[in-house]
Amino acid sequence: MAYYHGVRVLEEKTVKSEPQRGTAGLQAVIGTAPVHLAEEPAVHVPVICYNMDDCRKRLGYSEDFEHYTLCQSMDLNFNVFGISPVVFINVLDPKKHKVPEEKEYQINNGQVQLDADGILMDSITVKNGDAVSEKDKDYLLSRDEDGSIRITLLGTETFAESSSIKVSYDRVDASLVTVTDIIGGYDVSTGAETGLETIRQIYPRFGLVPGFLLAPGWSQDSVVAAILAAKSEGINGAFRCENVVDLDTETARLYTDCESVKENMGLEDPHTIVCWPMGQIESKVYYMSAVYAAVAASEDIKNDDVPNLSPDNKLSRLTGTVLKDGTQVLMDNEQANVLNGNGIVTAINNSGWRIWGNNTAAYPKITDVKERWICCRRFFSWWGNQFIMTYNEKVSNPSDKRLIESICDSENIRGNSYVSQGKCAGIKIEYREEENTAEDLMNGRVTLRQYLAPYTPAEDILNILSFSPEMLRAAMEGRN
């Protein structure tokens, strides 16, 4: 045991405040993560994270957002907005998405720093000439805080006369991940699920229902976007949510290109929110779908975890908007309104960069209030999910008056509480005898009818200005 005499100081790492929690806007994000940096790598498995430590443990973290697309949502949610939890689904498989490499390195002070990104430590082989060296006997491997790998040569005769060594390894190559990996599928022989198919596992694993599905960096592909829309309805055969997708900024370089790109992708589902272009915070660039979902989830948490407020006109913490190649995009209200009129959400600088847009992808083809307005669509999805989770325990109870009254009374009380809080204009549930025939009841079917009236956004506020000659005359005559 060390012997101390005198005054000592020990510094600890700064502990960041725990992110605020909410689940109304729970994000299920699918993409790629640097799992070669993780302690317990998760591949094709939903992982719920409450802070960056959780992310680093199961997924790893890198600021190479282009190759490791999940990391932009990690950064936005935990570092920028300070909110949690988020569910991540990584499809980068180090056993599959890798390339073999060999390189000669100079020895400096008995150490070698490997400069390649994504090296799998377990695959490293060190050679002195043609002779293979033995790990932990001839050398040690360690990973630095930045993720790089260091080889420390031990004091053996193996490298006594050497100025360089050969190192061979497998390197993770995120560019090998394809849309097919994101889409995934179901293996009928093993029952294994991959990619987007694993969304089904979120509720059984965590008892939570996603509020948003997104795949930043991948959703600009029309097939991925279509599957995200399909998955948004009937999750686990019952739940609904919204999905956020991006338009490809390499194809839609101007705001005037966006309408045709959206139409060509077939984006017209009311559960879909379409975004363009990309967002920027200083030197970091994010897909707008990741920004939008983080802003919406943050607003939900500030609003008692109720998704009745529109993210429109809320500060996004962006410092600019860009195309993928870095070209700056500067739109005014008039140009942004063209996008909004085509069911596309964007961001503009209006006393700070703000999310701009209230319409789902269904607009302008569909103008139904609950299908057009994002905040109304989200409220309906969220309320329905809450109803299912609340009354699941009553399934298979006797279908008598007591059951009907308990559900109706509970829902009307709950609805009235949200009305009194200003979260909606009205909520009412009722049991109609004409919708519950003797045959229905004999078949174990009970039908209730519920009315929801979330507030629509005050998107267009018009003030009509008129000149008043009478007021001028009164002022001149000293009558006012």
| SS3 at position 348 | strand
- Domain-by-domain residue ranges, the chain? 20-92+179-369, 98-172, 408-480
- What's 45's DSSP letter? S
Nearest to 306 by CA among 222, 230, 420: 420
40-50: average pLDDT: 97
| Distance in angstroms (rounded) separating the CA atoms of residues 410 and 406 | 6
Read off the pLDDT band of 480 (50, 70, 90). Answer: low
Q: Amino acid identity of 269?
A: D
Tell me what pLDDT residue 160 has: 65
Instruction: Please check whether residue 113 is in contact with residue 54, taking contact to mean a CB–CB distance below 8 angstroms.
Output: no
Q: How many CB atoms lie within 10 A of CB 280?
A: 20
Interacting residues of 125 by C-beta distance below 8 A, sequence separation 6+: 132, 167, 168, 169
Read off the pLDDT band of 109 (50, 70, 90). Answer: confident
Q: What does the mean pLDDT of the chain come to?
A: 94
Instruction: Please check whether residue 356 is in contact with residue 348, taking contact to mean a CB–CB distance below 8 angstroms.
Output: yes
Nearest to 312 by CA among 348, 280, 283, 285: 348
Q: 114-123, 258-267, 359-368, 434-443 — which is least confidently predicted?
A: 114-123
The answer on pLDDT for 129 being more than 80 is: no
Q: 116-125, 146-155, 353-362 — which is least confidently predicted?
A: 146-155
The answer on pLDDT for 136 being more than 80 is: yes
| SS3 at position 86 | strand
